[in-house]
Amino acid sequence: MKNKIALAVAAMSVAATSAVQAATPLDLSGVTGAFTASDVVTPVIAIAGTLATVYVAIKAAKIVLGMLRGR
């Protein structure tokens, strides 16, 4: 019986909290205003370019070695 009462109280508190959160919109301007998209995109593109360069160099080395070995 105590478990059912505790469960009911927990459900009511979650419902009340959800209702309050739904009534007040979440303000994320402090987080989203701290950085711009270019702050994130530039390093991601740089890393992607580096990985692409490494991949192309490995692929080219495999092709050249294959030619030298006669495959």
For 27-71, what is each residue's pLDDT tens digit? 777 877 777 888 889 999 999 999 999 999 999 999 999 999 986
pTM of the model: 0.48
CA distances from 67 to 12, 56, 58, 64, 71 (A): 73, 16, 14, 5, 6
- The first and second tokens of residue 22, run together, are 């739904």
Does residue 1 carry a pLDDT above 60?
A: yes
